Amino acid sequence: MGAGRTILKTQVGIVGAGPAGLMLSHLLSTSGIGSIVVEKRDHETIRTTHRAGILERGSVRMLTETGVGSGVLDKGTRHEGIDLRFGGESHRLDFEDLVGESVWLYPQNEVFTDLAAARARDNGDVRYGVSDTAVADLATDVPKIRFTDAAGTGYEIHCDILVGSDGSGGICRRSIPAEARTDNFIEYPFAWFGILTAAPPSAPELVYANSDRGFALISQRSDTVQRMYFQCDPDEDPAAWSEEQIWDELQARVDGPDGFGLQRGSIFDKSVLKFRSYVCEPLRYGNLFLAGDAGHTVPPTGAKGLNLALADVRVLFEAVDSFYATGSRDLLEGYSDKALQRVWRAQNFSYWMTSMLHTRADAGPFERKRALGELGGVVGSRHGSAYLAEAYTGWPNA
Ligand code: DHB
């Protein structure tokens, strides 16, 4: 046990340096609480991994109020609404009018870059490129993280609180004994084909399109780079698609009498994103606390993943801060229940957006028309539109 390993001591040991792990480490440092973050990927790999791009206003507030918001404020774009497109027509949902809120288009890898820079500036201890990571003694007062650093030296971190923010494929959740957790999950019979293209924007805001050929999402990155997705089979091979085929498929899914046309450009990134809804209950085992994708996964429709991770961190930080300030474990005990309230709301929203906008291969005319009825009910009713707008921009008090 730990033989031959250098022992490191800290208050909070964190596995995973994505936005959740780095944000937590950053917040803890503002309260004078020490942490060490270990991460198997290197900084460059995370920086260049493309993920979703929408931040709820609560996420933006969290970044700006803690001194890491200059990136989103300077380079992000505020979006006051989205278009829902079906039957070849676009219907704008005006979030500001409906609920007085906006979202920001700012890619997750930029959030990572900003948080990583803040941790480096503040001499935060973040170790990228580690291997053989394992966690142990989770139900004791001294949980441990073992790892080998990029130079080949073995370490063992002794901490009071261990946070698993190591994503859906991570080790932390799998270290909880099977009898101490419930895995809630469903799979979907489709995936997203995502591209990045060097082209001007095709629309000023995001377009979520339902069509007989399946879903498409027209998103943006900048004046010169755009992000788009279309529903595909989970086992689709991106390499099998030519640029022309991709553009024709995307265009077919947004075609309509209004003549909406996509601005084509060269495609420099293609990938297939798997769909899954998953929640681990509880988000805790002994002194191990799960945050972000390590504890739950949503399908991408509605862009809740990063926002949920930051919401977990907000709740967890308050609990850890209160523990060190007062010695009381009450908020730590309540972390899982509190975080899960929002998680289940977001699970429902992501599931709802996904099922309303996608077309199942086996869907008959009834199911197809029922979905159009549902979309008509959302855009044709102020209450329906406001329900979507409130969920999309982020529930104020969940
Ligand atoms: C993006 C991704 C999403 O899943 C979504 O709902 C909105 C935007 C994006 O990558 O831009």
Q: Exactly one of 26, 40, 79, 338 is catalytic; name it.
A: 79
Q: Does any domain span residue 91?
A: no
Residue ranges lining ligand 1, Cβ < 6 Å: 52-54, 206, 217, 219, 227, 300-303
Does one domain contain both 117 and 33?
yes
Which residue range is the domain that position 370 belongs to? 187-275+360-393
Per-residue pLDDT of 200-253, as tens digits, reads 999 999 999 999 999 999 999 999 999 999 999 999 999 999 999 999 999 999
Per-residue pLDDT of 327-350, as tens digits, reads 999 999 999 999 999 999 999 999
Q: Does any domain span residue 336?
A: yes
> Looking at residue 5, what DSSP letter applies?
P
- In this structure, the number of other CB atoms found within 10 A of the CB of residue 352 comes to 17
The pLDDT value recorded for residue 1 is: 47
The answer to whether 75 is a known catalytic residue is no
Q: Which residues does 73 contact at the CB level (< 8 Å), separation at least 6? A: 60, 64
Q: Which of 190, 219, 392 to mutate to test the pocket of ligand 1 (most atoms within 8 A of CB)?
A: 219
The answer to whether 200 is a known catalytic residue is no
The pLDDT value recorded for residue 51 is: 87
The pLDDT value recorded for residue 3 is: 65
Q: Does any domain span residue 90?
A: no
The answer to whether 79 is a known catalytic residue is yes
Nearest CA to ligand 1 atom 2: 52
* In the block, residue with structure tokens 């250098």: 6
Does one domain contain both 137 and 211?
no
Domain containing residue 334: CATH number: 3.50.50.60
Q: Running along the chain, 398 residues long, what does each successive block of 10 average in pLDDT?
A: 84 98 98 98 93 94 96 96 97 98 96 98 98 98 97 97 98 98 96 98 98 96 96 96 98 97 98 95 98 97 97 98 98 98 98 96 92 97 98 88
Does one domain contain both 60 and 152?
yes
Does one domain contain both 137 and 76?
yes
The pLDDT value recorded for residue 153 is: 97
Q: Exactly one of 106, 128, 188, 208 is catalytic; name it.
A: 208
* Ligand 1 mean position, distance from CA 343 (Å): 18
Does one domain contain both 163 and 61?
yes
* Ligand 1 mean position, distance from CA 229 (Å): 8
Does one domain contain both 22 and 107?
yes
354: its two tokens: 């996904």
> Which strands form 284-285's sheet, in the order they lie side by side?
125-127, 35-38, 12-15, 161-164, 288-290, 284-285
The pLDDT value recorded for residue 194 is: 97
The pLDDT value recorded for residue 349 is: 98
3-state secondary structure (DSSP) of residue 281? strand
Does one domain contain both 176 and 45?
yes
Strand partners, 272: 193
Q: What type of residue is 120?
A: A
* CA-50 nearest atom, ligand 1: 10
Q: What share of the chain is helix, strand, coil (3-state, %, to 5)?
A: 40, 30, 35
Name the strand (E) or helix (H) holding 79: strand 77-79
Does one domain contain both 365 and 300?
no
Q: Does any domain span residue 43?
A: yes
pTM: 0.96
Domain containing residue 239: CATH number: 3.30.9.10
The answer to whether 91 is a known catalytic residue is no
The answer to whether 304 is a known catalytic residue is yes
Does one domain contain both 192 and 171?
no
- Number of H helices and E strands in the chain, helices first, is 11, 21
Nearest CA to ligand 1 atom 7: 303
Nearest CA to ligand 1 atom 5: 303
Does one domain contain both 75 and 144?
yes
Does one domain contain both 213 and 271?
yes
Q: Exactly one of 40, 144, 296, 304 is catalytic; name it.
A: 304
Report d(CA 23, CA 265) in Å as an integer.
35
Does one domain contain both 327 and 219?
no
* Ligand 1 mean position, distance from CA 133 (Å): 31
